Structure 1
Amino acid sequence: MASALVTRIHEIYDSIVKLESLKPSEHVNTLLTHLVKLCIPPSNIIIEDLSQEIQDMRMNLIVLSGHAEGLLELEFATFLSKTPHPLKNLDLFPYYGNYVKLAGLEYKILSEHGMVQPKKVAFVGSGPLPLTSIVMATHHMKSTHFDNFDIDEAANYVARQIIASDDEFEKRMKFVTRDIMDVTEELGEYDCIFLAALVGICKEEKIKIVGHIRKYMKGGGLLLVRSATAARAFLYPVVKELDLPGFELLSIFHPTDEVINSVVLARKPIFHD
Structure 2
Amino acid sequence: MPGTPLHAAAANGVNGANPLVAAGANGLKHTVGRYAFDLPYHPDDTERLALGILALFARLERLESLEPNPQNSKLFNQLFDLVTTTKTTVEQDSKILSDPRIVPLIPRLWTLWGDAEYLLEADFARKVINAPAKTTALKTFNSFPYLDQYRQLARMEVNTLDTALGELSLPPIRRIAFIGSGPTPFTSLCYAERYSDDVSYHNIDRNPDAIALSSSLVTSCGFKNVSFEQIDADSLTDLREFDVVHFAAMVGADADAKKDLLVGVAKCMRPGALILLRSTDSLRTVLYPRYEVDDTEVLSLVTPVVATRYYGGATSLTAIVVKVD
* TM-score, normalised via structure 2 length: 0.77
CA distance in 2: counterparts of 1:264 and 1:102, whole angstroms: 13
CA distance in 1: counterparts of 2:316 and 2:58, whole angstroms: 22
Contact 1:124 1:180 in 2 (8 A): yes
Structure 2: which 5+ residue stretches go unaligned? 1-44
Contact 1:87 1:162 in 2 (8 A): no
1:18 aligned partner? 62
Contact 1:188 1:216 in 2 (8 A): yes
Task: Indicate whether 1:256 and 2:301 are aligned.
Answer: no
Deviations 1:248-269 (A, max 9, x none): 1111221111221111111112
1:64 aligned partner? 112
For residues 141 and 35 of structure 1, do their structure 2 counterparts lie closer, same or farther at Cα, with a shift above 3 Å needed? farther
3-state DSSP class of the match of 2:156? helix
Out of 191-200 and 107-116, give the one that drifted further: 107-116
Contact 2:164 2:306 in 1 (8 A): no
Counterpart of 2:259 in structure 1: which amino acid? I
1:268 aligned partner? 324
Deviations 1:9-38 (A, max 9, x none): 111111111111111112211110111110
CA distance in 2: counterparts of 1:250 and 1:48, whole angstroms: 30
Counterpart of 2:304 in structure 1: which amino acid? L
From 237, 246, 267, the counterpart of 1:184: 237
Structure 1: which 5+ residue stretches go unaligned? none
CA distance in 2: counterparts of 1:47 and 1:59, whole angstroms: 17
For residues 154 and 17 of structure 1, do their structure 2 counterparts lie closer, same or farther at Cα, with a shift above 3 Å needed? same
CA distance in 2: counterparts of 1:157 and 1:204, whole angstroms: 29
Task: Indicate whether 1:79 and 2:127 are aligned.
Answer: yes
Counterpart of 1:8 in structure 2: which amino acid? G
CA distance in 2: counterparts of 1:136 and 1:49, whole angstroms: 33
For residues 208 and 47 of structure 1, do their structure 2 counterparts lie closer, same or farther at Cα, with a shift above 3 Å needed? farther
**1:69 Cα offset (Å):** 0.8
1:152 aligned partner? 207
1:104 aligned partner? 155
CA distance in 2: counterparts of 1:117 and 1:67, whole angstroms: 36
2:8 aligned partner? none
**1:53 Cα offset (Å):** 4.7
For residues 37 and 136 of structure 1, do their structure 2 counterparts lie closer, same or farther at Cα, with a shift above 3 Å needed? same
**1:43 Cα offset (Å):** 2.1
Contact 2:50 2:96 in 1 (8 A): no
Counterpart of 2:51 in structure 1: which amino acid? T
Contact 2:97 2:103 in 1 (8 A): no
For residues 238 and 125 of structure 1, do their structure 2 counterparts lie closer, same or farther at Cα, with a shift above 3 Å needed? same
**1:168 Cα offset (Å):** 5.7
Deviations 1:217-252 (A, max 9, x none): 110010000011111111111123315433111112
**1:62 Cα offset (Å):** 1.2
For residues 220 and 9 of structure 1, do their structure 2 counterparts lie closer, same or farther at Cα, with a shift above 3 Å needed? same
Alignment of 1:104-253 (within 5 A): 104-114=155-165, 117-167=172-222, 169=224, 172-185=225-238, 187-243=239-295, 244-245=298-299, 246-253=301-308
For residues 47 and 102 of structure 1, do their structure 2 counterparts lie closer, same or farther at Cα, with a shift above 3 Å needed? farther
Task: Indicate whether 1:43 and 2:88 are aligned.
Answer: yes
Counterpart of 2:106 in structure 1: which amino acid? R
Query: Between the two proteins, what is the percent identity of the paired residues?
Result: 26
Counterpart of 1:17 in structure 2: which amino acid? E
**1:140 Cα offset (Å):** 2.1
CA distance in 1: counterparts of 2:190 and 2:158, whole angstroms: 10
The alignment yields a C-alpha RMSD, in angstroms, of 1.8
Higher helix share: 1
From 46, 52, 61, the counterpart of 1:2: 46
CA distance in 2: counterparts of 1:161 and 1:116, whole angstroms: 32
CA distance in 1: counterparts of 2:174 and 2:146, whole angstroms: 28
